[in-house]
Amino acid sequence: MLNKKSVDDINVKGKRVLVRCDFNVPLQEGKITDENRLVAALPTIKKLIADGGKVILCSHLGKPKGEPKPELSLAPVAARLTELLGQEVKFAKDDNVVGENAKAAVAAMKDGEVILLENTRYRAEETKNVEEFSKDLASLADVFVNDAFGTAHRAHCSNVGVTKFVDTAVVGYLMQKEIDFLGNAVNKPERPFVAILGGSKVSSKISVINNLLDKVDTLIIGGGMAYTFMKANGEEVGKSLIEEDYVAYAKEMMDKAKAKNVNLLIPVDSVVAKEFSNDVPFRTVGEGEMAADELGLDIGEKTQKIYADAVKDAKTVVWNGPMGVFEMSNFAAGTVAVAKALAEINATTIIGGGDSAAAVNILGFGDKMTHISTGGGASLEFLEGKELPGVVAANDK
């Protein structure tokens, strides 16, 4: 059980609080095109303002590769945050991130004021977790708050290194939610516990499959990776996406499921076409019916029904990866059906980040899920059972 101190466990009145946020937003010609991450950061920031902290925000943005790149400056974020918060967020413009400007800005702060530092990846030390930059960041603060889950699987100066040089390091509300759901609900699930895995490749989710087989009651496989399992089962899979090197592994996982009494489900029918395209004819085929020149691009209707039934009585469901090529309308039905099934059940539903989070939101089921993770890579590593450096670094309760 992960039990980390949070912003609710500390008193920041009059203290300088450095908050690592995830302000890695898409920008087009200096304009923010999706501000979800800014909005998501507000509860933690507002709480610290209300408690009378001097709030110093920091984040990375894109990949400036260790040098100042004006197009990756956080200046537009400071301007938008000012509007969202209804109070000034002063931008401490400093190519060195923690240079004279930033130091002077922090020294002049009053309780409840907010400043934003420049892109932490302007400094080459950031991604290498070099002490010098960690110490520079820590020199600005009495307390550190980590609210950036998207980078929690990386040990960088601004989320891990800095914690060594401050007395108090806690998590913010966003991080706390990720820990509660992806960490604790998955490790101490209310049963039945069902995992649904899809997406393109077995190879990228090996450790997730292996780890979840030790925990779940049912494991549902869909997406491109299902065809490697179907091949391991001796089925004809035509030109479907197959990873030959992982057929034996898929077989091993099916054997492991049997030995552990886990109900492992793979598709019984597929929507197929002769090309990876939305502009060619498509049809649904059952077991043994796929032609050698066809490829599977979605789960079929029978499979949709079986999968929906399999989650009906679940109490915890975790889902990572789409059931088909949902970006193409002809092959989105399987992913829609699973999203609908999860929206209708009375269970804790947790969506791992990346494509499945995007799919659930695009398809309009976002508000029906208990938790949609904000971190792609970080959520996968959590599901693999790994310890995330950004989480470990926060103080225990």
Q: Does 297 help bind ligand AMP (rule: CB under 6 A)?
A: yes
Distance CA 159, CA 367 (A): 29
The one segment of 2-10, 119-127, 196-204, 385-393 that binds ligand AMP by CB under 6 A:
196-204
Q: Which of residues 47-86 bind ligand AMP (CB under 6 A)?
A: none
Q: Please, which residue, 132 or 245, has the CB nearer to ligand AMP?
A: 245
Among positions 324, 375, 389, 390, the unique one binding ligand AMP when judged by CB under 6 A: 324
191 is in an annotated binding site: no
Q: How far is the CB of 221 from ligand AMP (least distance, A)?
A: 11
Q: Does 353 help bind ligand AMP (rule: CB under 6 A)?
A: no
Q: Please, which residue, 144 or 246, has the CB nearer to ligand AMP?
A: 246
Q: How far is the CB of 197 from ligand AMP (least distance, A)?
A: 9
DSSP state of 169: E
Burial of 78 (0-12, 13-18, 19+ CB in 10 A): buried
296 pairs with which residues across the strands? 272
Dihedral sign from CA coordinates of 292, 295, 301, 304: positive
327 is in an annotated binding site: yes
Dihedral sign from CA coordinates of 145, 148, 153, 159: negative
Binding mask 217-256 for ligand AMP (x = CB under 6 A): ------xx----------------x---------------
Q: Please, which residue, 199 or 389, has the CB nearer to ligand AMP?
A: 199
Tell me the residue nearest to ligand AMP as measured from the CB. 199
Distance CA 216, CA 197 (A): 12
Q: Does 321 help bind ligand AMP (rule: CB under 6 A)?
A: yes
251 is in an annotated binding site: no
Among positions 90, 93, 103, 201, the unique one binding ligand AMP when judged by CB under 6 A: 201
Q: Is 385 a catalytic residue?
A: no
Q: Does 199 help bind ligand AMP (rule: CB under 6 A)?
A: yes
Q: Is 5 a catalytic residue?
A: no
The one segment of 20-28, 131-139, 140-148, 194-202 that binds ligand AMP by CB under 6 A:
194-202
The single residue of 201, 256, 305, 368 carrying the catalytic annotation is: 201
Distance CA 394, CA 159 (A): 9
Q: Is 37 a catalytic residue?
A: yes
Distance CA 340, CA 366 (A): 11
14 is in an annotated binding site: no
Distance of CA 76 to the CA centre of its chain: 24
Q: How far is the CB of 384 from ligand AMP (least distance, A)?
A: 14
Among positions 195, 212, 325, 391, the unique one binding ligand AMP when judged by CB under 6 A: 325
Instruction: Give every CB contact of residue 356 below 8 A, 6+ residues apart in sequence.
Output: 198, 199, 319, 320, 321, 322
376 is in an annotated binding site: no
Q: Are 55 and 17 in contact (CB under 8 A)?
A: yes
Q: Is 377 a catalytic residue?
A: yes
Strand extents, DSSP E, the chain: 16-20, 27-28, 31-32, 54-58, 89-92, 114-117, 143-146, 168-171, 193-197, 218-221, 263-265, 269-273, 282-286, 295-299, 316-320, 348-351, 371-372
Q: Give the Å distances, CA to CA, from 137 to 89, 151, 166, 334, 380.
A: 18, 17, 10, 47, 29
24 is in an annotated binding site: yes
Q: How far is the CB of 179 from ligand AMP (least distance, A)?
A: 22
Distance CA 375, CA 178 (A): 9
Q: How many helices (H) and strands (E) does the chain have?
A: 14, 17
| CA 190-196-201 angle, 5° bins | 145
Q: Does 172 help bind ligand AMP (rule: CB under 6 A)?
A: no
Write out the residues near ligand AMP by the rule CB under 6 A. 199-201, 204, 223-224, 241, 296-297, 321-322, 324-325, 327, 354-355
Binding residue numbers for ATP: 205, 296, 327, 353-356
Binding residue numbers: 22-24, 37, 60-63, 121, 154, 205, 296, 327, 353-356
Q: Which residues carry out catalysis?
A: 37, 201, 354, 377
